[in-house]
Chain A
Amino acid sequence: MLTRRDLGLAAGAAALLPLAKPALAQGARGTVVMAQQAQPPSLDAQVTTAQASRNINLHVYETLFARDEAGNPQPDLAEGVDVSPDGLTYRFSLRDARFHNGKRMTSADVRASLQRYGRVGGSAFIMQPVEAIETPNATTVVVRLKEPSPGFIAGISSPRAPCAIIPEEEAGKDASRIEVIGTGPFRFLEFRPDSHVRLTRFGDYVQNTRYQGMDGFAGRKVANIENIMIRFVPEAGARTAGLQTGEMQILEAIAVPAAQRLRNDRNLVMHEMMPWSFQTLMLNHVQPPMDNPVFRRALQAALDLEEIMAISTDGLYRMTHGWQHPGTTYFAGDVGRPLYNINNKDRARALLREANYRNEEIIMLGDSSFSNHQATIVTAAEQLRSVGINVRTVITDWPTAFSQRTQRTGWHMWALMLGIEPYEGPYGVVGFFSGHQPVQHARDPVIDDCQRRLTTSLAEADRKRAVSDFQARMYDQAIAIKCGDVGIVQATRAQVRDYKPYRIPRMWGISLA
């Protein structure tokens, strides 16, 4: 009888042949240079939710489960998981993997990593329901929960702040204090702040033989590139120029106008990603007159969301009302749609009168660090002004804006792009508006209830209903405003072969011509 592992090997070997042909013929070679705008705030994958870190960390670290191309969790460092019928016990069997320091990964490393995630993790709430983590043997990890948590696998497989598996001896260290050691197909070489990060192919990488090819962040990761250089180039124009001159081969994102201009350049390939994220306007419910739902509905009615989207995305957008992406499990259909993009100034003025609006100053908070945020605020402010709302825009740098928005005063509306959360599924999105410190600063009992049902219901149908109810409430009470879906364009030189756009530019599977 064939074990699962043997089967995987056989299948993998068969699949490898056509795919890995160039790799086998030439060996891993070449250096690929990718440019991104920001530099990583941390190379401790567990800690940060920043895209700049994710681009690097997901080449270095791996997780027990990872999201596939469609965003669904698949085993990565785990061979699989057995979940007890009561949903309280998760038994993970581990596959063969090696850390970059040469050590073989064992259940002790996994346990230490999960425990650390509960302390420092960017989405540490995932570990909240965990009661105990046991290691019956070197390749088995058993996680026992206090209460059912149907989102557990979704959580530990999310790339948001990945629940990376690191060596046990590193797991004792504090946030951002660890050595960069993972199990991924590339290992960390150097970090030159304000300049670049260099990664190199991990020679002893153990490929996941369960798969034939790459699949999202899971799948078989074949490194055909010897070296990766990830450069931090703050100027968009410089990144584009660098791509054109061949100094860089891959851009994490290229400005949309540039992408349009270069669409027909035979040396370049533009890869459109739609949807990439949500553009939202968060509302502060504790600052009068925002505590009045009627006033919030006036805002909802006044905005021309299409203009906001067209300007803030430079034309790459989709008008979608859902707080989940269409086509995903938790997409709630037409719920709330009539209240999306109303763009009716008369109705807005009527609602303002009904809300007894007395020309109170509305502070619209944006930041100059993310151009989408700034453009959204600037455009929306102009629209609200035109229906007679006394608007003041405050655009600061990111930390100031963020610190401000965590305060209960000093702001009314705040622009935020949510990328990874809707991709993750409903948990992060609903989580934003529920719990002790919801972004709108006033807890909403209905949303809190949706959150409870979502995180504890064992039946998927119940969870779907919770998300649907959440979406209905979001629109009905104008809790926050979803503007639309944002797309991005990743760009490569034509010499980069087999590139498939995804949430990060993936360097495994590709090769250089």
Chain B
Amino acid sequence: MLRYAAGRLLAALPVLAIVSLLSFGIVWIVPGDVAVEMAGPTATAEELARLRERLGLTRPWYEQLAGWYGALLRGDLGESILLRQGVAQAIVERLPVTLSLTFTALAIAFVCGTALGVLAAVRAGQAADRVAMGTALVGFSLPDFWLGLVFVYVFAVLLGWLPTGGYVPFSQDPAGWARSMLLPAAALALSQMGLFARMTRAAMLEVLRQDYVRTARAKGMPGWIVIGKHALRNALIPVVTVAGIAAGVLLGGAVVIESVFSLPGVGRLIVGAIQRRDYPVIQGGLLLTATIFVLVNLIVDLLYAALDPRIRHGRR
């Protein structure tokens, strides 16, 4: 298991190297720079030029590239002038928000999606199946940010049940955290819930045909154990592989949702940095997001192995 993990990690390194190069490269084709933002909207060209020089933005690109990689190899992502803090710190501060959002959404999507999928598979061909799959497909098709707007309007403004946005750290107030996460996570989760439901249904239908499900019933296991333990454990194996991709999609979706719900997360940090030309943050943020994605997929691979003993023992 450990060797398997190490092998996967090693395979991720070249990918991360390319990721870092892309992160740096994107910034260099973006017009404008941070001085524009810092000077303010009505600054004159002269004021701007002076500020640009003071901020060291006039250095040639290769110098900056060398500087960035040099620092990166020392584990230093550089510093954001706009945010008054190091890029690493800026990201680490927002990571809990984005991870809360992404993983709450992932949990909602996974739990609701598999439940819907199981329901549909067990009642295959019946009305419940059609309703469940219809729900999944509609969820799959709704734009998440639009859904967020609708949620805010309905649940925060009209009904006043939940806050309109903002983030409460879990350590400060777990109930408040849950309240702040519910709407954005639900809006974000819906599309991936559809994905999970469809995957689960297909996998369950496959699994329910298997002999070992019949064995479980022949052993006198009650229906819910047969479905929930013997069948689902097997059906989850292909579903879990999707979780890695879903996490990536959610991470991307979090970008817009964070903006709709005023959550200070990594997505908004990066989008803000793009809009404000905060180069070190764009570079560091993209690099880190991609790294998280790679890591999540690594975890999924390991989870996959944990779920399926055949992989764990290297027989596949």
Contacts and interface: CB of A to CB of B under 8 A. Distances in A.
**Touch A–B, Cβ below 8 Å:** yes
Interface of A: 39, 41-43, 47-51, 53, 119-120, 122-125, 160-161, 174-176, 191-195, 231-235, 237-238, 241-242, 244-245, 247, 369-370, 397-400, 402-404, 406, 416-421, 428, 431-432, 435-437, 439
16 contacts: A41-B82, A50-B38, A120-B54, A123-B47, A160-B42, A176-B55, A193-B82, A195-B167, A233-B166, A238-B152, A238-B165, A241-B152, A247-B164, A369-B275, A399-B31, A399-B36
A238 B44 CA distance: 33
Contacts of A403: 31-33, 36
7 closest A-B pairs by CB: A49-B40, A399-B32, A194-B264, A195-B264, A437-B45, A50-B40, A403-B32
A42 B83 CA distance: 7
B43 interface: yes
B42 A42 contact: no
A382 B54 CA distance: 41
Interface string B81-110: 111110000100110000000000000000
B46 A436 contact: yes
B36 A398 contact: yes
A161 B40 contact: yes
A369 B262 CA distance: 16
Interface string B21-40: 00000000001111011111
A397 B167 CA distance: 26
Nearest to B156: A241
A241 B164 contact: yes
Interface residues of B, number: 53
Nearest to A40: B82
Contacts of B160: 245
A398 B51 contact: no
Contacts of B90: 193
B44 A399 contact: no
B84 A191 contact: yes
Contacts of B93: 192-193
Contacts of B40: 41, 48-51, 53, 122, 161
B175 to A, nearest CB: 16
B268 interface: yes
Given A122-B47, A175-B38, 13 more contacts: A49-B41, A191-B84, A193-B269, A233-B165, A234-B268, A237-B153, A242-B165, A245-B156, A397-B274, A399-B32, A400-B32, A431-B44, A436-B46
A476 to B, nearest CB: 23
B123 interface: no
Interface of B: 31-34, 36-48, 50-51, 54-55, 81-85, 90, 93-94, 149, 152-153, 156-157, 160, 163-167, 259-262, 264-265, 268-269, 272, 274-277
Nearest to B269: A194
A436 B45 CA distance: 9
A435 B32 CA distance: 23
A176 B33 CA distance: 15
A238 B55 CA distance: 34
A120 B51 contact: yes
A403 B57 CA distance: 14
Contacts of A176: 38, 55, 81-82, 84
Nearest to B82: A41
Query: Which has the most chain B C-beta neighbours within 10 Å: A125, A235, A418?
Result: A235
A48 B164 contact: no
A398 B32 CA distance: 9
B259 A234 contact: yes
B33 A398 contact: no
Contacts of B44: 431-432, 435, 437, 439
A47 B38 contact: yes
Nearest to A120: B54
A123 B39 CA distance: 10
Contact of A245 (B31, B43, B164, B167): B164
Contacts of B259: 234-235
Contacts of A43: 84
Contact of A42 (B82, B149, B157, B163): B82
Nearest to B81: A176
Nearest to A33: B166
B139 to A, nearest CB: 23
A406 B45 contact: yes
A122 B152 contact: no
A336 to B, nearest CB: 22
B82 to A, nearest CB: 5
Contacts of B262: 231-235, 238
Contacts of B274: 397
A437 B46 contact: yes
Contact of B157 (A241, A406, A432): A241
B102 to A, nearest CB: 16
Contacts of A370: 41
A259 to B, nearest CB: 16
B33 A175 contact: no
Nearest to B158: A241
Query: Which has the most chain A C-beta neighbours within 10 Å: B34, B42, B48, B259?
Result: B42
Nearest to B80: A193
A53 to B, nearest CB: 7
B211 to A, nearest CB: 55
Contacts of B31: 399-400, 403-404
B243 to A, nearest CB: 28
Contacts of B81: 42, 176
A41 B276 contact: yes
Contacts of B272: 39, 193-194
Contacts of B47: 122-124
Given A234-B259, A435-B46, A48 B39 contact: yes
A176 to B, nearest CB: 5
